[in-house]
Amino acid sequence: MTGPRNFPVGKTDEEWQNSLDADAYRVLRKHGTERAGTHPLNHEKRDGTYHCAGCGKPLYDSTTKYESGSGWPSFYKPMDSAVGTSSDRTLGMTRTEVHCADCGGHLGHVFPDGPQPTGLRYCMNGAALKFEPKK
């Protein structure tokens, strides 16, 4: 995060390291990005819910997932109050970072080139998500 923030789910860096696998830790806590097209959730087609891999908060319903061609799981709308955003000025450009509203974990970025009805593309790292199929 860009500064100290309080989130409902708070852990020390050591606690995050102990509770996440290496890829999830690198993405969620260190603002990493996985290589495009490498995560299995990019190809997930079942009905269900995508949760934060850090704290388990429900983030996206599968009905809002679509194939963006970007190589990352993409959604046009998060669940209500599921995510927050902040300005990301890394890589010499300004982007809108998306983070989990409960733990502050970095999920990915949102871009204004998605489908209707929102016109937004929430481009998420699969390592930051856990999928729960509908029963």
pLDDT given at position 95: 85
- Is 2 part of a structural domain of the chain? no
- Is 7 part of a structural domain of the chain? no
Catalytic residues, by residue number, are: 123
pLDDT given at position 5: 63
pLDDT given at position 90: 79
C-alpha 32 chain-centroid distance: 11
Starting from the edge strand earliest in sequence, which strands make up the sheet with 48-52, in order? 58-61, 48-52, 129-133
Domain hosting residue 90, numbered range = 13-133
- Is 5 part of a structural domain of the chain? no
Q: What is the CATH number of the domain that holds 120?
A: 2.170.150.20
In whole angstroms, give the CA distance from residue 71 to residue 134: 24
- Give me 9's structure tokens: 């789910």
pLDDT given at position 54: 95
pLDDT given at position 87: 83
**For the chain, which residues score pLDDT lower than 70?**
1-5
- Is 99 part of a structural domain of the chain? yes
- Is 70 part of a structural domain of the chain? yes
Domain count of the chain?
Answer: 1
